[in-house]
Every structure is written in C-alpha cells, then in structure tokens.
Structure 1
C-alpha cells in the first residue's frame, strides 16, 4: 500500500511552469502519510535544472517525447529492501509502473511467468510489469488484489491507468487541455493544479439528500474526478484520453449442476485469507461482533495455528453503550485463539480527533461510525501493526443487508414459486433485524423517487440552502430509489451506492496512520464465487449470508453465527454529537460566508434539542466542517 501522484503535460511546462521537480515533490508531500518508508520519482521529457535533494531516488529520462512525471510514497509491506522502490521499470526501461496496493496472487503469477523471465525482486510490483509484458491490458483480469496504478508503455506511446474491480484502492485525476494530473487522494491532484478546490454542488446536493457518494466519476470537488472500480483509461502522447473502460462487471450467471457449496465456501475463504496474510510485517484484524470479521479471524487462527496467540485483533468499545459489541468480539477472538484488544476512545480527545479525521478523509462522510474505525487504525499503528484485515464487503457480496435480502420473496413471486415465497416470508419475519413489512413495502412498493427526495429536502432545508439542495440530478434519484430485483439491487450496492463510499472511508482511516487495510471478502476469488451462488444459498429460512453461516459452523460461536442482530459499526452518535456541540459550532462559524450554505443557528439548535443521531443532520454538519477545515471554495 502506497501513495501515487503525477502528471502528464500535453504541451511542455503547461502544468509545472518550468518546475517539474518542485511540483511533483509538493504532490507526494501532501500524501506522505500513505507511504512514510520511502519515496521515488521519475521525470520523462524534462531537463531538470532545480536542486534535487535526494538524487538517488530520482530517475531522469530527458530524451522522452512524452513529458510526464511519476511520484511514489512507499509503505513497505512485501520485500522491504530498496528493490521495491518505485516507480519501477522493466529491464530495457520500456515499461514503468507507479503502483499503489497489493496483488495477493503474485506468487502464483510469478511461478506461471518465471519460465519466460528472470525476476530481480520479490515484489508484486515486478509481477504486474511481467504480466503486462505477456498479456497487455488483459492482465487486469488475472490480478487478485487491490490496486490503482499508472503504467507507461514507451513502445505504445501511452500511459495506462487502472483500478481494481470494486475500487478498494483510490485513483483521482483531472483531465484538461493542459494535461492529466492524478493522485491517490484529491489533495494530491489539487496540489498538482495549485488550487484549494471548489465544491461540486451537484454531488454535494446528492450526498445531503440521499446520502450517496462515490457512485460515479464525480467527487465533492468540481476539479477532481475519480476512476471507478473495475475500469481503466489510457492517455496517449497526443493528449487524447480513452475511457474510462469497464474491464470487470459483477458475474450474474448462477452456478448450475451439483456443487458442495459449504465445502467450496470454506475453501475460498481459506484461500482468500491465506493470500492476504502474506506480508513481511506485522498483521492484525479489525474485529466487530459479526460474521464477516469473525470469519476472517477464525480462518486466520486456523492458518496460523500455533502462532495465532501472537496475532492481535482490535475492537472498538464504548463502555455503557447499549449496542457495544465487545463481548461478542471477545468471544470470537477467544474461540479462535487470538489476542483481543479493546479500543476505548478518550473523551477529552474527541474534538481534536474529529477535526483530524475530517482532514484525513478530505471529503464529507455520512456517519460518525467511521470514527470507530479511525480509532482502531490509530491503535493498530501504535501497536506497530502495519497490515489490518477488515470484514468490509461481506454484506454486499454475501447479501447481508436485510433491506436487500428481503427482495428474495419478490423473486419467488415473479417465478411463481409460492411455497418458497411463504417459507421465506415466515423466515424473514422471524430472523430479519428490521421490520419486514416496514422495509419491504415502504422501500419497494411505495418508494417514489420524487416523494423520497422532497421528504428529505423538507427535512434539510432549515439547515442547508435550498438552492444547493436543488442541484441534485433526477436521474440519480430515480436510480437510487429504483425498484429493481434482488440481483440488480445487490449490484447497485456493490458497485455504486454503498460499498464504494465505505471503501473510501476505510482507505482514508487506515492510511491516516500508515496502515494497510485488506479486505478478504472482496478478493477476486470471493467476487467470482459468491456472486454466482444460487439464491437459496444466499438467503434461506430468513437467514442472510446463508452460505457463510453454514461454512463457519464449528468455527464461530453459535451466538454469533445465528444472531439476527445486524448492527454494522454501532457508535453512540447522539452522545458524541452533543459532546461535540461547541466544537462543531466553533468550526462552522470560523469560516466566513459559510452561513450562506449552512444555517449554523438551526444546526446548533437541533443538536440542543437532543437530535444529534439524525443522519441528515450529520450530513449537513459534515459538509460544513469539510468546507471550513479544508478551506474549500464554496
């Protein structure tokens, strides 16, 4: 895991203004937290006249026709030697890569490719280069990992930019007549452009009203785009950009024939966790009280066997909070033979920590539950744990959200499977963690986009300028509040309206403390397998994640395995917002002119009325604090 940044100029000095080294250095400096172990730079098509502080880490190719620069901040995880320094080239320097992430099947790919070449390092980065030399862009379908990279192909006179299937690793950019500027975070792109950044009113409106973000190429900054997961783009020497092009879509054809799904699920989880335990540094796990992180911890314990007692699990805990999951997490860790470490926030640091977290996020976020994850990553860093496995993605891949899983009964009605319909209706009423009638009928049969949007605008207009709220796109509202079938809805959660924003939060929270977050449930193995399971192996007898529950029998305590309580990442948001009341007011009022967008008096009044748990209130607070702390032009 690392941080990447760089730029391509379509006419020389159009972006760097004659100071290519200074500009790139500024860009990688703002993402130093993503890779404090090492750095590297390469410059193509420039005669550098500036003073270079550490020339051993800088490569110069003044003869190249294409003027561009790659910068890299390294978080050393595999092959900790200088051999892993990036940007990295092949032997004849016709290919150069600037890579952020991990390729978990690099050992298997290396073995496949070693008959045709000699490898000089033990890194997964070199394996990507070798894969590209053999298969070209088609190699993207062979990588099991999380990645975002730029790859220069000198012979083809183009630069390939790519992101992993579901967008675990970020890739941001700005494309204009002057050139192409990219980075692992918006702040790196803004540094490359030499600006503070301006609010994108459309995306901000859609976030405030519907809570959605990261579902397309847009961001909260009008000057910054993002490459969606499962896509690549190409920039050639003439300045033309091709893409984004989709290279991965979720599989939709269910398995046929005889399958031992329990055995196969066990094997796939085992392989995914085993590959993601590969590291030359200390590895741990973020453990909640649920099945997803529990399956990872249990499987890691099985793989490590005698060494599992030295493996640390970390759980956010807030003593006295009724939804605190500490006892369940402890039960999982004890059952798996792992060390368990509760992470309890210090009350007095809440306000300082919140400001730091907002600046680390760099964009608004939808819930304070992300603060729990932030504190877990901080504790991991303090314990010198450099890699954390996380259960993120399990709900989207295994059909874990009750609001989505409940659509199974509609599928049975459509197929006239009435006995299955009644069977699941009874099971869902018994085991679902939310009301079947309220969720199913309220969100499917009577969910009009216009009604939902206007309801939320009416809730928000006392806090937020109605002019800003009305910037949303009707097409997005129709898509968000669609009445699709269970598979369409699952894919929307996976690729647009749920998982992408959660992955952004996870990336920023972990990278803020130079910790790599890995998500085994989102490996290529799991995506290719779980998304093809028959419906009755996704939801059965009202149990969501049915295949995973069956696979984990005997590996997790029954109270975890057969619990119908779906809590997510519960935190005492109402308590926290009330404790932060003065800090929130001070931050909002410190920004001159913010009251043109945010009615600060009404926001504070709502907190004083004891309504700090309201999701739409927090979204307004989050936008306001982001504008203030990040000095966004609004």
Structure 2
C-alpha cells in the first residue's frame, strides 16, 4: 500500500513537496521517474517483498514499461504462474506481476485482477500513460485536467498544493456533501479535479495531455439472473467463497491484525481467519466508548459483543479508547479525508490504526462492505414497507407526514419513520433514493447565499442514483437496485474513502475481504430472499455464521461505527467548534452560506425541532476544507 502521483504537461512542481504530500502513505521508501513532459512519484509502504527489489517506480529490463502502484493484488501468484515462461521475475512483489501482466495483456489485465489497487503505467515506446482504479474503488485516485496540464495523485491535497491550479468551486458538489455526507461519482469540490471512478481506467498521450480517454472495464454484475440451488448448497458455497476471500487476503510479509466491532461482518472475517490460521496468534482491535452515549444515536455498545467474539474464537482483543479531542483533531481529520465528508466514524478508524501501527501491525482486515454486498442497512429493511406504502392513499400519506413531522427528532425510531414519511407521494425510486439523503433538498439549498442558491435550483442530487440504473437494465429486484447504489456510490465515496485515508494517515493498510471479486459475483446471483428475508438482513450470511459464532452475535441488530455526534451537539461539547466555523462573521466572510439560515438551523437542532447534527458537522467540514485546501 503506497502513495502515487504524477505530472504530465506544462508546469513545474517541487519534488520534495509532491513526495511530502503522500509520504504518510508510504513511509518505508520513495522514488521518482522522469521523462520528457512526465514525472512519476511514489512512496512505499512495504507489505510484500520488503527488500529493495520491490522499489518503485519499477521498470521492465528493457525500460519500455514503468509502473507506480498502490494496493495489493490477492491473485497475483496465479497471474505470475501464467507469465513465468515469458518473463524472468526478480522479486516476489505483486508490483512486478502487474508490470509484466500489463506488458503481456495490456489494459485487459485490469479485470483479471482480484485486489485493491490504483496504478499508473507508462509505455516509453508509445509515450502513452494509463491510470487504473480497482473494481470497487477501495483505493482512491484523483486527477486534475485543464488545458494541457494533467496531474494525478492518491490524495487531493497533492493537487491542491501545486502552484497555478485552478480552484474554481463546484457548488453542486457542496450540495452533495450536505445531502449524502459525501459526493458521489467523479465530483470533488474543485471543478477541474475529479475522482477516477471504480472499475475505470484513463489513457492519454504525454505529448498531448489536452485529450484524455476514460474507459469502463468492470461493471457490478447485477443482471437479474438468480441461481436455483438449494439453501444448503448456497450455504456451503458461501462458506468456501468467504473463506477463500479472507484466506487470500492474509498474504503479507509484515504482521497483520483485524478490526473487530462485535458486529456480524467483522466477526465473520475473524472467524474465517481463525479457520485459515487455527494455531496462530490473532490480534483484533475494537473501540471502547463511554457508557450511555449510544442510545441517543440509536445503536448499542459494541464492546461486550466484541469481547464475546474474541473469547469464542480465542483471539487477542485490544480495546482502544474512543476519546477524541475533537476541537484539536477536527482540522487534521478533514485534511486527511481530502474531502469535506460529514461523518465522525473516521475518528474511530484513525484511533484504531494509530494503536495498531504502534503495536507493529501494518495491515488490518475488517468487515466493511458486508452490509453493501449482502444487505444490512435499515434502509434495506424499509423496503419491506413498499407494498403497504403503495396502497396508502395520497390524503392518508399527507396526514401521516404532518403527524410524524410534529414529533421530537431525538428518537432514533421516530427519525427513521419521518424519513420514510417524507417520501410519500413521490415515485417509488425517487422516494427510495431519498433514503440516502440527510436533509430535504429545499432546506439544503436554502443554506446557500442567494447568488449561489439560484445556480442550484435545477440540481437534483438523487439523479446520480436514478440515472445509474440504466447500467443494469435487466436487474428488476428493488433490493439489488439499492445494493447497486450502495456499491457504486455510498461505499467508495464514503466508507472506503475515510477508511483508506485515515488508515494510511498513520501508515496502515486496510483490507476489505467482503469486496473479493468472486464473492461479489456470487452475491449478485443470490435470490433477493437469500439476502433479506422479510426484515431479516443478510439472511444467508447469518445462517452461515451460525456454524462459527454465538447466536446473539449472529442475530444482533445493526449498529454503527460512529461517535455520539448528536450527544456532542446537545451537551455543548461542540459549542466552541461551532462558533469557530459557523459564526455569522465567519459565514459572511466566506460568502458561501446564508448566515441567518445557518443560525436558524443551529437553533432548531439544539431545540430538537430538527435532526441537523450531521448537516452542521458537514458545514463545519466545508469551512475547514476551504481553509486548508483553498485559502
């Protein structure tokens, strides 16, 4: 796991500054490659082949191909065996496998890979550069493209720190960060800086960087075709595929550990690791939160469950205090996120990975994406209400909206009911797409100053989701359509982004076994009832885990990995931070948001009239981001 960056075209950059911006991603080694009109940068976190033979940039012996690579390829030994008769390998690193794989197969290589990766490969004969990102977007890659200048990096801060960058703001992206807590698709806050989409690659000539071509090489395989195998056979197949996914991700030449929340997904990963390594010492990390702060957020305390799983599987459990000096750490967190994401969960990732690194664990496996692959969110359970909502007369729906709208926003159950009620009367897919929203769009747009607000009136964030369904025209399952949205937008732009950024901030690699390519393909062929049976999410996965875990772990309710943000606002712990970023003076000076509207939102949230804690957090994140990436 590493940091990569590069510059094509006009404009100079200080080499030390470029490397410094991604050095936290690769503290073990660094290097650069230069050619006319091209500079490639690399910082290395050594995981496979710790020797100098794994140094990057890496070149083929004839010097034709040059690669910089960030990630892990879990099936690289299979690919290497195919190539062994054609190439003489000098190292045991997956980087060299990628290098020769590209020399042999070209861009067709990318969809043969099972792993997490971004890479840049330069062909010195054709003077072509290719950038690629893994199928599910586990690893990030940003690029800036304007006129004859093309810049890319693992992190947006590299681009923002260069002289001469056009920092024109994309206001629709700011709407996204308040609407979803993240910005879906390619958009970043900068008009000319984009995210390379998962499952895509870009090609360009280093002699003519004014023109780039983007290609999709992978699509999430929702095709509306489901297996007719018996439940018992599906259980056995899932057993082997999940086991293989975890086992292949245990490859490492450095010590590794595990995230263990005590939830089903992280517990399943540890259970499979114990099956694969029955006699080895396994070390897990969990968060210990202050008692009594979970109820207000609507989730249970994870710690007792994590302890029970650790005892059941015979693994060591290190409990990391969740205490955070949020006033001190807020700006640093936004700096590492690269984007003004409105979530507090990155703090927990940061704390765990910092402790793991101190303990010598450079790699951590976790249960992320289990909810997105097999169904696990409450919005998936809400789909069970669809037959009833379809029968509800319009007048009754309006009455329900008014009744629920008068209730307090401090109840987690009532908050969820209110979100469902807000969509009554809308077309079904629009209503379900709005389950991803944190604030009504009119309220969101009303937070902006009038001149900006007028440019946003025709912008509809849910269009990202609705328009994407044309990519899977044969998939008619409503649950699978929503899971497609999770895998395409929520997961790469939110959960995976903060997990990568905050783990790599301290030089730790986070792996995601549930995004094994073979496992995802298997899940797409499962009948929807094998994922959600009535309101029981992850049905087949739960049935499988009955073989490995205690019943109370398998069937515990969904919980979050966040912090007690609403409690922080209500208790006054964030008063100083709110005053620092959202004072009338600050808002007026920035010129983005309407100071009166924001102050009204703060007061309504404090009085419990609206649930706006995450929106206020997002507003503060945007201001912090502007100070660090724009000012």
Question: Where in structure 2 are the equivalents of 1:254-265 lying within 5 Å?
Answer: 254-258=225-229, 260-265=233-238
Alignment partner, residue 526 of structure 1: 519
TM-score by length of 1: 0.84
User: In 2 relative to 1, CA 411–583 (structure 1 residues): closer, same or farther, beyond 3 Å?
Assistant: closer
Question: Where in structure 2 are the equivalents of 1:312-461 lying within 5 Å?
Answer: 312-322=284-294, 323-346=300-323, 349-407=325-383, 443=423, 446=426, 456-457=440-441, 459-460=443-444
User: In 2 relative to 1, CA 196–371 (structure 1 residues): closer, same or farther, beyond 3 Å?
Assistant: farther
User: In 2 relative to 1, CA 372–232 (structure 1 residues): closer, same or farther, beyond 3 Å?
Assistant: same
Alignment partner, residue 459 of structure 2: 474
Distance in structure 1 (CA, Å) of the matches to 2:341 and 2:181? 10
Question: Where in structure 2 are the equivalents of 1:65-464 lying within 5 Å?
Answer: 67-195=37-165, 197-208=167-178, 210-211=179-180, 213-236=182-205, 237-239=207-209, 241-253=211-223, 254-258=225-229, 260-308=233-281, 310-322=282-294, 323-346=300-323, 349-407=325-383, 443=423, 446=426, 456-457=440-441, 459-460=443-444, 464=448
User: In 2 relative to 1, CA 455–89 (structure 1 residues): closer, same or farther, beyond 3 Å?
Assistant: closer
Q: 1:597 aligns with which of 554, 575, 592?
A: 592
Distance in structure 2 (CA, Å) of the matches to 1:335 and 1:613? 40
The alpha carbon displacement at 1:83 in A equals 1.0
User: In 2 relative to 1, CA 70–504 (structure 1 residues): closer, same or farther, beyond 3 Å?
Assistant: same
Could you say what secondary structure the match of 1:31 adopts?
Answer: helix
1:582 aligns with 2:604: no
Aligned Cα root-mean-square deviation (Å):
3.1
Alignment partner, residue 43 of structure 1: 34
Distance in structure 2 (CA, Å) of the matches to 1:28 and 1:514? 15
The alpha carbon displacement at 1:446 in A equals 3.6
Q: List per-residue Cα deviations over 1:270-311 (Å, max 9, x = no partner).
A: 111111111111211112121111111111112121113x42
Alignment partner, residue 58 of structure 1: none
Distance in structure 2 (CA, Å) of the matches to 1:135 and 1:342? 46
Could you say what secondary structure the match of 2:301 adopts?
Answer: coil
User: In 2 relative to 1, CA 373–69 (structure 1 residues): closer, same or farther, beyond 3 Å?
Assistant: same
The alpha carbon displacement at 1:156 in A equals 3.2
Distance in structure 1 (CA, Å) of the matches to 2:450 and 2:618? 15
The alpha carbon displacement at 1:545 in A equals 1.0
Could you say what secondary structure the match of 1:307 adopts?
Answer: coil
Could you say what secondary structure the match of 2:218 adopts?
Answer: coil
Could you say what secondary structure the match of 1:30 adopts?
Answer: helix
Distance in structure 2 (CA, Å) of the matches to 1:455 and 1:41? 45
Alignment partner, residue 8 of structure 1: 8
Distance in structure 1 (CA, Å) of the matches to 2:605 and 2:479? 37
Q: List per-residue Cα deviations over 1:146-191 (Å, max 9, x = no partner).
A: 1111101223331111000111111111112222111011111223
Distance in structure 2 (CA, Å) of the matches to 1:603 and 1:475? 22
Distance in structure 1 (CA, Å) of the matches to 2:575 and 2:498? 23
Unpaired stretches in structure 2, ≥5 consecutive residues:
295-299, 391-411, 470-475
Distance in structure 1 (CA, Å) of the matches to 2:42 and 2:167? 22
User: In 2 relative to 1, CA 604–405 (structure 1 residues): closer, same or farther, beyond 3 Å?
Assistant: closer
Distance in structure 1 (CA, Å) of the matches to 2:129 and 2:278? 44
TM-score by length of 2: 0.84
Q: 1:567 aligns with which of 553, 556, 559?
A: 559
Q: List per-residue Cα deviations over 1:308-352 (Å, max 9, x = no partner).
A: 3x42333343333233211111111221111112211345x3321
Q: List per-residue Cα deviations over 1:78-104 (Å, max 9, x = no partner).
A: 111111111101111110111111111
Unpaired stretches in structure 1, ≥5 consecutive residues:
17-21, 46-66, 415-432
The alpha carbon displacement at 1:460 in A equals 4.6
Distance in structure 1 (CA, Å) of the matches to 2:18 and 2:121? 18
Distance in structure 1 (CA, Å) of the matches to 2:144 and 2:329? 30
Could you say what secondary structure the match of 2:208 adopts?
Answer: coil
The alpha carbon displacement at 1:396 in A equals 1.1
The alpha carbon displacement at 1:586 in A equals 2.5
The alpha carbon displacement at 1:365 in A equals 1.2
The alpha carbon displacement at 1:463 in A equals 5.2
Q: 2:21 aligns with which of 26, 30, 43?
A: 30
Alignment partner, residue 401 of structure 2: none
Distance in structure 1 (CA, Å) of the matches to 2:441 and 2:73? 44
Distance in structure 1 (CA, Å) of the matches to 2:586 and 2:422? 40
The alpha carbon displacement at 1:476 in A equals 3.3
Q: List per-residue Cα deviations over 1:511-564 (Å, max 9, x = no partner).
A: 11111111111121222211221222112243211121122112111101122x
Alignment partner, residue 61 of structure 1: none
The alpha carbon displacement at 1:410 in A equals 5.9
Q: List per-residue Cα deviations over 1:182-216 (Å, max 9, x = no partner).
A: 101111122344549453211002322x2253422
Q: List per-residue Cα deviations over 1:202-237 (Å, max 9, x = no partner).
A: 1002322x2253422110223311100010110123
Distance in structure 1 (CA, Å) of the matches to 2:195 and 2:253? 31
Contact 1:366 1:619 in 2 (8 A): yes
Contact 1:24 1:69 in 2 (8 A): no
User: In 2 relative to 1, CA 383–397 (structure 1 residues): closer, same or farther, beyond 3 Å?
Assistant: same
User: In 2 relative to 1, CA 434–532 (structure 1 residues): closer, same or farther, beyond 3 Å?
Assistant: farther
Distance in structure 2 (CA, Å) of the matches to 1:409 and 1:346? 38
Which region of structure 1 is more displaced relative to structure 2, 199-208 or 459-468? 459-468
Contact 1:148 1:161 in 2 (8 A): yes
Contact 1:286 1:390 in 2 (8 A): yes
User: In 2 relative to 1, CA 257–156 (structure 1 residues): closer, same or farther, beyond 3 Å?
Assistant: farther
